[in-house]
Amino acid sequence: DQQVKQNSPSLSVQEGRISILNCDYTNSMFDYFLWYKKYPAEGPTFLISISSIKDKNEDGRFTVFLNKSAKHLSLHIVPSQPGDSAVYFCAAKETNRDDKIIFGKGTRLHILP
Amino acid sequence: EPEVTQTPSHQVTQMGQEVILRCVPISNHLYFYWYRQILGQKVEFLVSFYNNEISEKSEIFDDQFSVERPDGSNFTLKIRSTKLEDSAMYFCASSYKPVTQYFGPGTRLTVL
């Protein structure tokens, strides 16, 4: 039962270019979406989030776009830096269920020199 | 910067044994969580804990699992009789408000 899908297990991007990580979801009750970044041997780190009432949220080099009609969101990283190499998890929560976050399987981003 | 800590970093146990995984959440946080990640798979929600009781749990969190906040600082996950399939990374998380959760580095549990 994959409510949050990250269909690309890995992605390689040249340093300085834009990284675009994609995420699809199936549950129309999701009202809040998050991106987490994970380095090896560490726990996931919160990166950026977006409420379903918005279609874009920006924080420095990171921008998340939400297309509710397509049940799709994406994370843009511009410009990509070597320290961005990590696994990125898309996550979501349902309306009135603040405690439970549902994660996707993650996309491993490699930033190439 | 305050962070969530977890001990031990790696726990090896025999099938059928009880294990307790320990977490120290960020001190002013009110909500506490356990997640697990089986190797190569997604991070899965296990349980959330607020106001000294479980507020939400997944179907994974069966009678073999329990959580406790025995004092003002620790948050523990107990697995009563471990199975091979319990081998995973277990992440503790905490938050001041729901949703934006801060994760610890994880405990790798290996059941032999």
Count how many domains chain A has.
1
User: Cα(B10)–Cα(B12) distance, rounded to whole angstroms?
Assistant: 7
Measuring CA to CA, which residue among B27, B3, B10 is closest to residue B90? B10
CB contact under 8 A, A101 and B103: no
The minimal CB distance from A101 to the residues B55, B101, B102 is found for B101
Block mean pLDDT (10 aa), chain A, length 113: 88 97 95 93 91 95 97 97 96 82 92 95
Q: Which domain holds residue A95?
A: 4-112
Task: Give the whole-angstrom CA distance, residue B42 versus residue B88.
Answer: 11
CA-nearest residue to B93 within chain A is A43
Within 8 A of B35 by CB-CB distance, chain A residues are 103
The reply to whether residue B104 touches residue A43, judged by beta carbons under 8 angstroms, is yes
- pLDDT beyond 80 at B70: yes
With 80 as the cut, is the pLDDT of residue B72 above it? no
Tokens standing for residue A22: 């994609």
Answer for the pair A21, A104: CB distance below 8 angstroms, yes or no: no
Name which of A47, A43, A45, A13 is nearest A33 in CA terms: A47
Of B41, B43, B58, the CB nearest to A44: B43
Phi-psi region of A9 (alpha: psi -120 to 50; beta: other; left: phi over 0): alpha
Residue of chain B whose Cα is closest to the Cα of A108: B40
Delineate the domains of chain B, giving CATH numbers in brackets.
5-101+105-109 (2.60.40.10)
CB–CB of A65/A73 below 8 Å?
Answer: yes
Chain A positions in Cβ-Cβ contact with residue B4 (cut-off 8 Å)? 43
Looking at residue A97, what is its pLDDT?
Answer: 74
Looking up residue A89, the CATH number of its domain turns out to be: 2.60.40.10
pLDDT at A1 (0 to 100)? 63
Question: Exposed, middle or buried by CB within 10 Å (0-12, 13-18, 19+), for A8?
Answer: middle
Q: How far apart are CA A84 and CA A53, in angstroms?
A: 28
Q: Do B98 and A45 touch (CB under 8 A)?
A: no
Chain B residues with CB within 8 Å of chain A CB: 4, 31, 33, 35, 41-45, 48, 50, 55-56, 58, 91, 93, 98-106
Distance CA B107, CA B36 (A): 9
A113 vs A24, A39, A51, CA distance in Å?
29, 18, 34
Comparing A86-90, B8-12, B47-51, B104-108, which segment has the lowest mean pLDDT? B47-51
**Average pLDDT for residues B11-31, to the nearest whole number?**
95
